[in-house]
Structure 1
Amino acid sequence: MTEPRHYRVMIVEDDAKIASILAAELDRYGYDVVMAQDYARIRDEFVAARPDLVLLDVNLPRYDGFYWCRQIRAVSRVPIIFISARSDEMDQVRAIEHGADDYITKPFNLELALAKVGAAIRRAYGEYAMSRDPDLLSAGGLLLDRSTNRASRGDRAVELSPKEFRLLWCLAERAGQIVSREELLEALWDDTDFVDDNTLTVNVTRVRRRLEELGLANAIETKRGQGYCLALTGGE
């Protein structure tokens, strides 16, 4: 078996016994394991953990694995392997159609499961490649995708202009902290000598409106004489 150091696997399995067995085996082979905690917020936990691969059960509380597979696929292309007691071929077809890379039926052989994990990682990243997506950023339940200039929260999403998105990204990188107007001007414009200071204010106003469409009113706070702060906490 190839050396799987540096890879993070997220286990989304509500059967504690099965989850712990999988986690122990993955850990034994050097994987970094993250266990799902809140089955109503799998996508948020996925974005926060930034795993390289997901092991996903079908039968889960609140929403099933097919739903969460679609949610993950909306923000990432990491390998997803279903692990389920459902052995019907149509369930396996449905899993693939929803974006899964593989399907393992319970009860399963641990060595086979580990082999499938290793194979999926090799296909996705190469033998020892690292795999963190630099285009995704999460802050307090707000997800930013730099590849599309989209901001999303739950089931709602908005597309921003390049300048608006860069402004929001700068604030989200330091959510909860004050970012000075000077820093934002330098991040948005190459030559700040020819930029009217009011231009930044206009862009901040536009981003505020976009965030309001996501249900985040007053998310950007003005700190007089200092700059702006993206006041997002938690996952709501």
Structure 2
Amino acid sequence: MLQLTDVTKTYPTPQGALHVLDGVDLHLGAGESLALMGESGSGKSTLLHLAAGLDLPDRGDIHLDGERLSTLGEPRRAALRRQQLGLVFQQFHLVPSLSVADNLSLQARLAEREDNHWTQHLLARLGLAGLNDRYPEQLSGGQQQRLAIGRALAAKPRLLLADEPTGNLDETAADEVLDLLASLVDESGCALLMVTHSARVAAPMDRCLRLQHGRLAEPGE
């Protein structure tokens, strides 16, 4: 589903070049879940943005569902994101002027893959049934994050990318959201790449890798 080969990313700084990723190799199979750990500033979010085609590497190849991202123009990469990816961030990025129901179905409509039965199932599983007409500001933080997860899954993506999806929640709400995320990912059959700094959050994933000094390794190496 996702393949990174010898991926390098460098950013210029007043102190010189900052090597964020240095020859990273990563493989994620269909339906597999992988936690990507590392300290703040280690490049986890950069790797996620590259995997989503939001940025391109300085060197190396990224293949998403068999397509080489560096050979695609931005319109094609955007279309690939709509059709194949679900994105969940620490900031919820809900549309304030849209209702719960419209926020939930937004991604699916953009992908022309709206499924009313699946949407209603998601609303029920997310604990948002009966809140269709409310707006994001009328929801709790946990409800907003569950809505963001539902929006990402509504189009039945093949790969879900999650960047610290519970970072703004207290531990109880975070555990509830993570349990729900894992359950819905299993139901949808998509692959999951989750960025986290927490070993507790990473524990249920199929695999875990740590990003340190620009390179990936198994935890403890």
Give the TM-score of the pair, scaled to structure 2: 0.25
Greater strand percent: which structure? 2
Per chain length, whose mean CA-contact separation is higher, i.e. which structure has more relative contact order (CA < 8 Å, sep 6+)? 2
